[in-house]
């Protein structure tokens, strides 16, 4: 079995930082959003797709360098404030299965996130939405990861914190465990993940090994 980990909100507690940076920059452009609104609408969605949806919603394009501005600001915050999800290293080391990361983030953001939080040594294989035509909730990224790793979709188990990610995994024909231990997850988030297709939901990483055993 192959374990496919999302990065943001599963391995690293980045979504709160990311949503606040997105909201601040959009508001400064006259497109007011709160961090909570960004979290509800765009967690799990690639930056490229978020920009396209916001531009369509407001009827005008964002500045050409908006993505660069987001990344420049966010990467600086990551260097000082990003932390791993509590217990994630021990949970991963307790799991004997092959594993990889498949994230909506860009390759440089994934690499930075794992480096800053001391998790880089746990993953030899990193896959990004920039490598496929469609991001989550389309199944492309997870199918690409499975193919590259040599596993059939039915032999993959995805760990996801976002509705879009759960939908993508289910569309790929994979089992999904939802995770609600990130700082951005509210009290109803677990139920939303179940409604999206997660077969199990765990609130803390210490529960992940037993949840994986149930799904194996």
Residues 62 and 38 in one domain: yes
Structural contact between residues 200 and 215, judged by C-beta atoms closer than 8 angstroms: yes
Residues 207 and 132 in one domain: yes
pLDDT for residue 46: 84
**CA dihedral for 162, 102, 181, 179, sign (positive or negative):** positive
Among 81, 96, 111, residue at a domain's last position: 81
pLDDT for residue 216: 80
For the annotated catalytic residues, the residue numbers are: 6, 8
Render pLDDT for 135-161 as a digit per residue (tens, 0 to 9).
999 999 999 999 999 999 999 999 999
Residues 24 and 99 in one domain: no
pTM summary value: 0.89
- In whole angstroms, give the CA distance from residue 144 to residue 22: 28
Residues 73 and 92 in one domain: no
**Please, which residues have CB within 8 angstroms of residue 73's CB and are 6 or more apart in sequence?**
21, 25
Among 51, 81, 111, residue at a domain's last position: 81
DSSP per residue, the chain: -EEEE-SBTTTB--HHHHHHHHHHHHHHTT----HHHHHHHHTTS-HHHHHHHHHHHHTSPPPTTHHHHHHHHHHHHHHHH--BPTTHHHHHHT--SEEEEEESS-HHHHHHHHHHTT-GGG-S-EEEGGGSSS-TTSSHHHHHHHHHHT--GGGEEEEESSHHHHHHHHHTT-EEEEE--STT--TTHHHHHHHHT-SEEESSGGGHHHHHHHH-
Domain count, the chain: 2
Task: Write the CATH number for 61.
Answer: 1.10.150.240
pLDDT for residue 171: 99
CA dihedral 18, 196, 57, 186 (to 10 degrees): -40
Task: Write the CATH number for 178.
Answer: 3.40.50.1000
Render pLDDT for 69-118 as a digit per residue (tens, 0 to 9).
999 999 999 999 999 999 999 999 999 999 999 999 999 999 999 999 99
Query: What's the burial of 98, exposed, middle or buried (CB within 10 Å: 0-12/13-18/19+)?
Result: middle
- In whole angstroms, give the CA distance from residue 176 to residue 166: 6
Residues 154 and 204 in one domain: yes
Residues 77 and 116 in one domain: no
Residues 128 and 23 in one domain: no
Domain containing 166 equals 2-13+83-215
CA dihedral 204, 208, 211, 216 (to 10 degrees): 160
Among 29, 46, 81, residue at a domain's last position: 81
Residues 60 and 100 in one domain: no
Render pLDDT for 154-194 as a digit per residue (tens, 0 to 9).
999 999 999 999 999 999 999 999 999 998 888 899 999 99
47 pLDDT higher than 90: no
Residues 130 and 33 in one domain: no
Residues 92 and 9 in one domain: yes
């Amino acid at each position: 079995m192959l374990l496919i980990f999302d990065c943001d909100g599963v391995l690293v507690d980045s979504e709160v930082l990311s949503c606040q940076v997105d909201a601040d920059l959009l508001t400064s452009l006259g497109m007011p959003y709160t961090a909570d609104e960004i979290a509800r609408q765009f967690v799990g969605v690639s930056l490229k797709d978020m920009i396209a949806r916001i531009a369509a919603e407001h009827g005008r394009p964002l500045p050409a360098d908006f993505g660069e501005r987001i990344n420049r600001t966010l990467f600086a915050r990551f260097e000082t404030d990003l932390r791993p999800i509590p217990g994630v290293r021990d949970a991963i080391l307790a799991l004997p299965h092959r594993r990889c990361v498949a994230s909506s983030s860009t390759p440089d953001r994934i690499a930075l996130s794992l480096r800053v939080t001391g998790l880089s040594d746990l993953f030899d294989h990193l896959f990004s939405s920039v490598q496929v035509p469609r991001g989550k909730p389309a199944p492309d990224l997870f199918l690409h990861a499975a193919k590259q790793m040599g596993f059939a979709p039915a032999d993959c188990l995805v760990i996801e914190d976002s509705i879009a990610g759960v939908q993508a995994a289910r569309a790929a024909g994979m089992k999904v465990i939802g995770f609600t231990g990130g700082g951005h997850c509210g009290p109803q988030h677990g139920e939303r993940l179940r409604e999206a297709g997660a077969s199990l939901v765990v609130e803390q990483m210490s529960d992940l090994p037993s949840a994986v055993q149930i799904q194996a």
